[in-house]
């Protein structure tokens, strides 16, 4: 379905792509997205509109490529980026600084709204070279949690100058990513294959639970929580494997699935269709994992680029669709995997999904938008 994909060459390597969240009652597909760049002379945060929705081609496909609405310089590589609300974007920098940018929609400009200098640092905040990369950020407006190379966890509140809370030596290794499990609980992944749960209400600086990949201590780079089932978590790491965890039980993953041939950089459950999961990798691929139950009706499961189909069963006890992620009896149902980029070469660094739309960014200095994911 490559013809559904619109490419835009942007002359900078793209490290992050994010859809602007839609208002709660919105029925229309997402219309704006933000990108962050890395490894360029001048890195930038940019806001794009998806292009001209009015023009539909002969076969019903969209015309028009993404249009740049505005951009602003960013000091350091954009390591992570999240929308805080409709107007504000939080960016994590390789310099250790965390910045909130505001998108002014009346005149299409971006401005730095608030900045926490060296939220992450190696020695102390005052030395000139002390910054440590801020590797991950997650928002639950007005709260912002950041993690970094320094093993530190910060809890900020928008419009508050100082950190609400910092756990200085949360981890002795690099923290690569963070997500909210619920309002007061976060989950981090680190460079020695561990997941840790932190209860932000506790004053203790220790995690409430630790999970780990057995044996190899493979660095984990990304994590996402199932949107409806808070106990289901997916992670990806340096070996390209997809791990599914049930944090209610055990300390090891429920399933390990062979996936990419190099580092997995990002993983996202579809926010409203969580039977669908998306992963992207240094190997230049972007996979769509589909555990929805009607797969058996589909006539063929050999897709362009899709190189494996896996079989899963539903527990007799638990007939919920979600259980597809947790079951491992390889006899009844199957999970369908499609590589959405059959002939890509350079790293796919970031992806985001919302409604029927996918946006992803690559080291080939391009952003791609697919507005008909489930067509």
Distances (CA, A) of 353 to 20, 122, 268, 371: 11, 34, 7, 10
According to the model, what pLDDT value does residue 321 have? 40
Q: What is the largest CA-CA distance in the chain?
A: 63
According to the model, what pLDDT value does residue 33 have? 98
What number is the average pLDDT over the span 265-270? 98
Q: How does residue 23 score in pLDDT terms, banded at 50, 70 and 90?
A: confident
According to the model, what pLDDT value does residue 54 have? 56
- Is the pLDDT confidence value at 236 over 60? yes
Domains of the chain with bracketed CATH = 5-22+29-293+335-370 (2.130.10.10)
According to the model, what pLDDT value does residue 125 have? 64
**DSSP code at position 219:** P
Residue with the bigger pLDDT between 263 and 24: it is: 263
Calculate the CA 246 to chain-centre distance.
19
Cβ-based neighbours of 318, under 8 Å, separated by 6 or more: none
What number is the average pLDDT over the span 40-49? 95
- Beta carbons of 281 and 265 less than 8 angstroms apart: yes
According to the model, what pLDDT value does residue 19 have? 98
Q: How does residue 303 score in pLDDT terms, banded at 50, 70 and 90?
A: very low
According to the model, what pLDDT value does residue 106 have? 94
Cα(6)–Cα(66) distance, rounded to whole angstroms? Answer: 8
According to the model, what pLDDT value does residue 153 have? 97
Q: How does residue 24 score in pLDDT terms, banded at 50, 70 and 90?
A: confident
According to the model, what pLDDT value does residue 56 have? 58
Cα(323)–Cα(146) distance, rounded to whole angstroms? Answer: 31
Residue with the bigger pLDDT between 235 and 41: it is: 235
Q: How does residue 291 score in pLDDT terms, banded at 50, 70 and 90?
A: confident
Buried b (16+ CB within 10 A) or exposed e, 295-309: beeeeebebebbeee
pLDDT in tens, 308-323: 434 333 332 233 344 5
According to the model, what pLDDT value does residue 374 have? 84
- Is the pLDDT confidence value at 92 over 90? yes
- Is the pLDDT confidence value at 328 over 80? no
């Amino acid at each position: 379905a490559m013809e559904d994909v619109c490419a835009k060459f942007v002359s900078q390597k793209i490290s992050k792509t994010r859809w602007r969240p839609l208002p709660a009652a919105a029925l229309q597909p997402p219309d704006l997205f933000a990108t962050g760049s890395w490894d360029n002379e001048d890195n930038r945060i940019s806001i794009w509109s998806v292009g001209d929705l009015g023009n539909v081609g002969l076969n019903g496909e969209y015309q028009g490529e993404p249009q740049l609405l505005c951009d602003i310089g960013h000091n350091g590589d954009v390591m992570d980026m999240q929308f805080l609300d409709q107007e504000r974007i939080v960016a994590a920098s390789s310099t250790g600084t965390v910045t909130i940018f505001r998108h002014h929609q009346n005149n299409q400009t971006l401005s730095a709204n608030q900045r926490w200098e060296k939220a992450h640092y190696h020695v102390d905040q005052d030395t000139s070279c002390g910054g440590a990369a801020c590797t991950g950020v997650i928002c639950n407006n007005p709260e912002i949690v950041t993690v970094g190379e320094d093993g530190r966890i910060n809890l900020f509140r928008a419009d508050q100058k100082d950190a609400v809370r910092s756990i200085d030596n949360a981890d002795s290794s690099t923290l690569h990513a963070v997500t909210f499990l619920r309002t007061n609980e976060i989950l981090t992944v680190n460079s020695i294959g561990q997941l840790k749960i932190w209860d932000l209400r506790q004053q203790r600086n220790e995690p409430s639970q630790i999970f780990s990949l057995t044996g190899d201590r493979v660095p984990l780079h990304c994590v996402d929580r199932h949107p409806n089932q808070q106990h289901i978590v997916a992670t990806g790491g340096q070996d390209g494997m997809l791990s599914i965890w049930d944090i209610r039980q055990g300390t090891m993953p429920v399933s390990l699935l062979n996936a990419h041939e190099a580092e997995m950089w990002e993983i996202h459950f579809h926010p409203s269709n969580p039977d669908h999961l998306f992963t992207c990798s240094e190997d230049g691929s972007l996979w769509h994992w589909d555990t929805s139950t009607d797969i058996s009706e589909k006539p063929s499961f050999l897709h362009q680029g899709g190189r494996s189909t896996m079989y899963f069963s539903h527990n007799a006890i638990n007939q919920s669709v979600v259980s597809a992620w947790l079951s491992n009896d390889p006899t009844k149902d199957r999970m369908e995997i499609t590589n959405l980029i059959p002939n890509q070469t350079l790293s796919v660094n970031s992806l985001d999904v919302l409604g029927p739309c996918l946006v992803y960014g690559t080291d080939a200095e391009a952003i791609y938008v697919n507005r008909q994911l489930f067509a």
